[in-house]
Structure 1
Amino acid sequence: MNDYGYLSIFSARANDLLIALGEHMLITFASVMLGCLVAIPLGIFLTKTDIGWIRSITFTITNVFNTIPSLAMLAMLLPLLGIGLVPAIVALFLYSLMPILRNTYAGFTSIDPHIIESARGMGYSTTQLLFQIELLLAVPYIMSGIRLTTVYIINWAALATLIGAGGLGELIVSGLGVYDKPLILAAAILAMLLALVADFSLGKVEKFFFKSAHSTQQQN
Structure 2
Amino acid sequence: MDLISQAWDYGQSHSDEFWQATIDHLQLSFVALAIAAVICIPLGIFTSRFGAVSRVIINIIGVARVIPSIAVLLVLLPVMGVGFAPAVVALSFLAFPPILINTDTGLRGVDPATLEAARGMGMSWWQSLVRVEIPLALPVIIGGVRTATVEVIASATLAAFIGAGGYGNFITQGLAGSDNRVLLVGAVPVALLAVIAELILAYLQRLTSPRIDRPRKLKATQA
Q: TM-score, normalised by structure 1?
A: 0.90
Residue 179 (structure 2) pairs with residue 185 (structure 1) = no
Identical-residue share of aligned pairs (%): 35
Measure, in 2, the Cα distance between the counterparts of 1:70 and 1:61: 16
Q: Which amino acid aligns with 2:66?
A: T
Match of 2:11 in 1: 10
Map of 1:148-163 to 2, 5 A cutoff?
148-163=147-162
Structure 1 partner of 2:63:
64
Offset at residue 101 of structure 1 (A): 0.5
Greater alpha carbon shift after TM alignment, 132-141 vs 14-23: 14-23
Which residue of structure 1 aligns with residue 74 of structure 2? 75
After superposition, give the CA deviation of every residue in 1:102-145 in whole Å (9 maximum; x if it has no partner): 00011001000000001111111211101000010011000000
Structure 1 residue 87 displacement after superposition: 0.5
The one-letter amino acid of 1:118's match is: A
Moved more, 62-71 or 125-134: 62-71
Runs of 4+ in 1 over 4 A off after TM superposition: none
**Counterparts of 1:60 and 1:109, CA distance in 2:** 17
Q: Does 1:100 align with 2:99?
A: yes
Corresponding residue for residue 146 of structure 1: 145
- The residue aligned with 2:220 is none
**Alpha-carbon deviation of 1:68?**
1.4
Q: Which amino acid aligns with 1:199?
A: E
CA–CA distance in 2 between the matches of 1:58 and 1:20?
Answer: 36
Q: Aligned AA for 1:22? A: I
Distance in 1 separating the partners of 2:16 and 2:193: 17
Larger radius of gyration: 2
1:200 aligns with 2:199: yes
Tell me which moved more, 65-74 or 165-174: 65-74
State the distance in 1 between where 2:189 and 2:10 align: 12
Question: Which structure has more RCO (C-alpha within 8 Å, separation ≥ 6)?
Answer: 1
Q: Distance in 2 between matches of 1:111 and 1:56?
A: 18
- Name the amino acid aligned to 1:76: V
Counterpart residue identity of residue 15, structure 1: D
Q: Which residue of 2 aligns with 1:85?
A: 84
Q: Which residue of 1 aligns with 2:34?
A: 33
Gaps of 5+ in 2: 213-223
